[in-house]
Structure 1
Amino acid sequence: MGTHVIKMPDIGEGIAEVELSQWHVKVGDLVVEDQVLADVMTDKAMVDIPSPVHGKVIALGGQPGEVMAVGSVLISIEVEGAGNLKESAAPAPVKEAPVAPKVEVAVESKPAVAAAPRPAAVCQGPMVAREADERPLASPAVRKHALDLGIQLRLVRGSGPAGRVLHEDLEAYLAQGQSNASAPAAAAYVQRNDEEQIQVIGMRRKIAQRMQDATQRAAHFSYVEEIDVTAIEELRAHLNEKHGASRGKLTLLPFLVRALVVALRDFPQMNARYDDEAQVITRLGAVHVGVATQSDVGLMVPVVRHAEARSLWDSAAEISRLANAARNGKASRDELSGSTITLTSLGALGGIVSTPVLNLPEVAIVGVNKIVERPMVVKGQVVIRKMMNLSSSFDHRVVDGMDAALFIQAIRGLLEQPATLFVE
């Protein structure tokens, strides 16, 4: 038997160190070639580290949240044959990363209030045997989903890599349990006083650092404008009915990307990056639109490159492709960097007004709120129109308030008269 040592790989672009985000294996596990061993986090993207060999894990080189230098020992695997490490150079085994314990705190009883405690799930779906203190693999979003549903995550069988519990597993657990449930509904109402401590590492730590950096360094100001999107929604519905089957369905996002492209012709100062250390503003001709996308590991911003050269359907296809890659953790570093202006939307959850945080070093971000039907006065008549707010933020060090207002007004005019989006 020999030892095969896997070192922290060189991710590229001059990166000297990365953060170890998550282990998918533990000491004693048998692994096969191409099995994902760990996730590491660069400044922009999550990267999977696969195993190049079959063997047994004998040592882990770090703990989640630890920043490791490129070339340092990541993991040691016992293999058949000589391996790639001389016996004298074998690293000392590192114990498995400790898991933050769940802390149960006694809470003083108080009178009942309007907000009821979360019910515990009574369904008994396809369960898996785990120790009471064993922490199953799952993303923060899945853990929150399970908590909201009242499901004990350790009882759910995971179908993801290395037994990771996915959203689909929670749904399967509930579905199976509903078909077999026989417990009375009253048993669901149980008080809960448990707490869970979650270490801020990986993508969540990067997001926290970037948001803090953006709010500390840039002089944010926001501008909100109301837009009548009745006409463009009618155009979108017509195009989907006529071409949806052959070209794909259009959402509002590709129209917004097109409106950005056209408006930026008159407001090039918005399509820019500001290097505050060098005191240099770089205005770009290419429009690389970052589209904020929520994933299980947090907010990511994949980039639609050269939006100025794309049709509606080309933009729609690229937005869909990038969003899927980001949500599945497959977006590359290049796909998550290089934006010149960002578009952010919460879709149907967009609320009425928001205050987006700039994606530094960009100087503008355009936020989309939800569409609602409201009575409006048009030519002296009260009519029902589809209305939407744009809540946008700018870097006041670079962008003047008047220019920001005129820029959003230009986008408003383009969306309210959608034919002008295509007039050259």
Structure 2
Amino acid sequence: MGISIIKVPDVGEGVAEVELVEWHVKVGDLVKEDDVLAAVMTDKATVEIPSLFDGRVVELGADIGETLVVGATLLTIEHAGEGNATASDNEAAAASPVAQKEPEDKLPEPAPKAPEPKLPPAAPPVAGSARAPRAEGAAPLASPAVRARARAAGIDLRRVAGSGPAGRITDGDLDAVFAAGPAAVAAPKPGRSRREGAEDIRVVGLRRKISESMSLANARIPHITVIEEIDVTALEDLRATMNAGKGDKPKLTMLPFVSAALCRAIDQHPEINAHFDDDAGIIRRHSPVHIGIATMTDKGLVVPVMRHAESLAPFELAAEILRLAEAARRGKATRDELTGSTITITSLGPLGAIATTPIINHPEVAILGINKMAVRPMWDGAQFVPRKMMNISASFDHRVIDGWDAAEFVQRIKTLLENPALIFMED
């Protein structure tokens, strides 16, 4: 048998270190070649590391949350044939407590038995009997007359020890309760119970990356947020009409229209579709519009990227948004699909608020937030009429986007969404 070390692989693109976010095995597990051993995270993508051998795991090289450099020991595996570990590596693995094996015919010595602490009884017996109250959840035994007396006195029979056969509660047991004071076994009053203690949760993996990203953006970017209300009645009518005749195309939500309007608005405001490298003092304006779609997953918020959104029609936008969201939620989005956005859209969907203050996805210079839609009475000059209204919240990097330019951009978005035909008109 040989001992082989599985090392942290080079995941490409200049990544020098990764964070261990999940173990799929434990010491002693039998694994086959290509079985997933662990998952590590780079700056955004999660990478699964497979086994190179059929064998048995003898040692784990790190704890969840640890940062490992490329080439560091991830774990060691015992397998048939020659191993890749050096002699010193083999000696270290053999000496490791997790790698030692007892001979099969030798049983481990039993650990000395410590005296068990005596726990106080759940409730002291209150009747004149040595019996303890019945096990938790067991129904009390009592005659209808005894039950009636207990109900009238507010006595909880589940806390009364019975002296009769099989623990049956007798009138004498109730008399003993009355003598001791009925408050001792009264049914608990309804109300909220107090809770104690706290739980420490280590910030690792995607949650750590989100925390670092938000801290960086909030610390380095002076935000200005512009909030505007949009009358989306006409847009909703158009959406319903297009969905009615969609055939086998994906259903249109609000996001494809917002994405299309964003691309059209950027045509007139190219300064919005940019990155700001504040270390180098460079603003890089991008020609293609690569929209990041903030997506909530079981492990946290990720931002898959819809590339060249400016070239896609509404149903194509809908299909790509659906594909990216599904890949992100299943943890299957690639590194390329999680990097390279030039501007981001965030939406809370049906949980949306009246207004939000979205945080920019560094190093971008703007983010567009979609808030909830509601029917509200709006004055048309003569009367109040019901209209479908939706607020948008757009945040900008105030170092490179002036307030006037930010307001103009938001007004352009408003005009396009309130007059959706303009989204599809050629300039």
Change (3 A) 1:395 1:95: farther
1:35 Cα shift?
Answer: 2.3
Q: Quick one: structure 1 residues 95 and 235, their matched pair in 2 at CA, closer, same or farther if it must change by over 3 Å?
A: farther
1:254-273 equivalence runs, <5 A: 254-273=256-275
Q: Secondary structure at the match of 1:394?
A: strand
Residue matched to 1:241: 244
Cα offset for 1:55? 1.6
SS in 2 for 1:212: helix
Could you tell me how far 1:3 is from its partner in structure 2?
1.7
Report matched runs for 1:213-292 at 5 Å: 213-243=216-246, 245-292=247-294
2:81 corresponds in structure 1 to 81
Report sequence identity in percent.
Answer: 55
Deviation at 1:192, TM superposition (A): 4.2
TM normalised by structure 1 equals 0.76
Distance 1:250 1:22, change over 3 A: same
Q: CA deviation at 1:210?
A: 0.8
- 2:218 aligns to what SS in structure 1? helix
Alignment match, 2:205: 202
Residue 293 (structure 1) aligned with residue 264 (structure 2): no
Given the alignment, which residue of 412, 415, 418 partners 1:416?
418
Q: Which amino acid aligns with 1:326?
A: A
Q: CA 1:192–1:51 in structure 2 vs 1: closer, same or farther (change >3 Å)?
A: farther
Give the residue type in structure 2 aligned to 1:24.
H
- Residue 264 of structure 1 deviates from its aligned partner by 0.2
- The alpha carbon displacement at 1:259 in A equals 0.3
**Which range moved further: 396-405 or 14-23?**
14-23
Query: 1:265 is paired with a residue of what secondary structure?
Result: helix
1:54 is matched with: 54
Residues 415, 3 of structure 1: CA spacing in aligned structure 2 closer, same or farther, 3 A cutoff? same
- What letter matches 2:346 in structure 1? T
- How far 1:302 sits from its partner (Å)? 0.4
Q: Describe how 1:227-376 pairs up with structure 2 within 5 A.
A: 227-243=230-246, 245-376=247-378
Q: Residue deviations 1:272-313, cap 9 Å, x none?
A: 000001101011110000000111111100000000111111
Provide the rounded CA distance (Å) in 1 between the counterparts of 2:77 and 2:374.
57
3-state SS of 1:315 partner: helix
> How far apart in 2 are the matches of 1:91 and 1:294?
47
- Structure 1 residues 86-95 or 265-274, which shifts more? 86-95
| Separation in 1, partners of 2:14, 2:91 | 26
- Over the aligned positions, Cα root-mean-square deviation in angstroms equals 1.9
For residues 77-156 of structure 1, the aligned pairs below 5 Å read 77-90=77-90, 92-93=92-93
Aligned counterpart, 1:16: 16
Hey, what does 2:72 align to over in structure 1? 72
In structure 2, give the amino acid aligned to 1:233: E
- Give the 3-state SS of the residue equivalent to 1:380 in structure 2: coil
- Amino acid of the residue matched to residue 208 of structure 1? S
Decide whether the 8 Å contact of 1:288 with 1:340 is kept in 2: yes
Paired with 2:25 and 2:18, the residues of 1 have a C-alpha distance of 19
After TM superposition, give the deviation of residue 78 of structure 1 in Å.
Answer: 1.2
Offset of 1:207 from its aligned partner? 0.8
**Which consecutive unaligned segments of at least 5 residues does structure 1 have?**
97-185
User: Post-superposition shift, 1:4?
Assistant: 2.5
Q: State the alpha-carbon separation in 2 of the partners of residues 16 and 300 from structure 1.
A: 22
Contact 1:60–1:95, Cα closer than 8 Å, also in 2: no
- Partner AA of 1:385 in structure 2: R
Distance 1:252 1:49 in 2: 38
What are the Cα deviations for residues 142-166 of structure 1, in whole angstroms up to 9, with x where unaligned?
A: xxxxxxxxxxxxxxxxxxxxxxxxx
Whole-Å separation in 1 of the counterparts to 2:97 and 2:15 = 27
**Within 2, Cα distance between the matches of 1:295 and 1:361?**
23
Q: Partners of 2:82 and 2:39 in 1: how far apart? A: 27
In the TM superposition, residue 191 of structure 1 has moved relative to its aligned partner by: 5.4
1:329, 1:187 → 2: CA distance? 45
Question: 1:227-246: CA deviations, max 9, x gaps?
Answer: 01111111111111111x32
* TM-score after normalising by structure 2: 0.75
Letter in 1 for 2:212: Q
Give the ranges of 4+ consecutive aligned residues of structure 1 lying more than 6 Å apart after TM superposition.
Answer: 186-190
Q: What's the counterpart of residue 25 of structure 2?
A: 25
Shift of 1:88: 3.4
Give, in angstroms, the shift of residue 34 of structure 1: 2.6
What residue in structure 2 maps to residue 38 of structure 1? 38
- CA shift for structure 1 position 381: 2.3
3-state SS of 1:195 partner? coil
Q: Distance in 2 between matches of 1:91 and 1:344?
A: 54
Report the Cα distance in structure 2 between the residues aligned to 1:275 and 1:346, rounded to whole angstroms: 29
Deviation at 1:81, TM superposition (A): 2.0
Give, in angstroms, the shift of residue 190 of structure 1: 6.4
Q: Kindly tell me: are residues 377 and 337 of structure 1, through their superposed partners in 2, closer, same or farther at Cα, counting changes over 3 Å?
A: same
Q: Helix, strand or coil for the counterpart of 1:246?
A: coil
